Structure 1
Amino acid sequence: MRLSKVILASSFALVAACSTAQKSTEVTPAFISSTKYSGVSCNNLRSESERLRSSVSNLEAGVDKAYSEDKTMEVVAWVLFWPAALAMDGNDAEAKQLAEAKGEAEAIRAEMLRKGCRL
């Protein structure tokens, strides 16, 4: 009885550890200093903010697509060939790009607020 609990707990740990994929809503912004934008005018900050909004939306869609594909492949790997599930890499590259874009957007917003720009 005790051995079966250990095996079951180990199995759950392996399943939980095999994929590091994140949903776009789980990606936190990277820190980007707003001082990078200190010499930028309000109009240019607004333009950059608009550009980033579009970029963030596209990156979120890419992260969510990669997440979905990764989870699908994980299920297939566990059913067909479980060792392959342990080698899955998730969507780290996509999530990193999204975190940086979110961080840039926050830095621009912080600088706009500091300068008293219209948001």
Structure 2
Amino acid sequence: MSSTAELIKQCKVKTASVKRLHKEFLYYEKERDREQARVDKMKADNADASDLKQAENVLQESAMMIPQTRQRLEAAVAELQSFVSENEEDVKDTEELTAAKEMLAEIEKLFK
């Protein structure tokens, strides 16, 4: 396999990794918000204390996953950014490079 083909393959893999972690990060944020709404509703409805405690535990577990996932996402983004800057000339004008840059721009908006 030529070096350009190998670089394109690496670009695809790194971009897919960032995309997957981005999706996972958004999922955990959505889950946390959903569980928070559930806990708030239970409090407003004066739910049983043990049910409320269980719901709060689920909320806490969901919230714990966000920083871990963000950390993994940031590491994958840094790796993709480094790859793009080092190999941009070798894979220029490819759809893989375009996809990588679009994903980086989307993640940049998320983190601002």
Query: Which category describes the TM-score, using the shorter chain as reference length?
Result: 0.5 to 0.7
What are the within-5 Å matches in structure 2 for residues 88-99 of structure 1? 88=53, 89-90=56-57, 91-99=59-67
More helix by share: 2
Partner amino acid, structure 2, of 1:61: K
Structure 2 unaligned regions, length at least 5: 1-9, 88-99, 102-112
Q: Secondary structure at the match of 2:74?
A: helix
Distance in 2 separating the partners of 1:99 and 1:49: 16
User: Which string of whole-angstrom CA distances, capped at 9 and with x for unpartnered residues, describes residues 47-104 of structure 1?
Assistant: 1011112222222211110010011112222xx77xx29x633511111122222111
Aligned partner of 2:42 in structure 1 is 73
How many matched pairs?
74
Offset of 1:114 from its aligned partner?
2.8
Q: How does the TM-score come out when normalised to structure 2?
A: 0.53
Aligned match of 1:103: 71
Equivalent-residue separation in structure 1 for 2:61 and 2:80 (angstroms): 29
> SS in structure 1 opposite 2:23?
helix
2:23 counterpart of 1:63: no
CA RMSD of aligned residues (A): 2.5
Counterpart residue type for residue 57 of structure 1: L
CA offsets, 1:34-55, max 9 Å, x none? xxxxxxx333111101111222
Q: Which runs of 4+ in 1 moved over 6 A?
A: none
**Structure 2: how far apart are the matches of 1:103 and 1:71?**
28
Partner deviation per Cα, 1:3-28 (whole Å, 9 max, x = no partner):
xxxxxxxxxxxxxxxxxxxxxxxxxx
Percent same amino acid among aligned pairs? 16
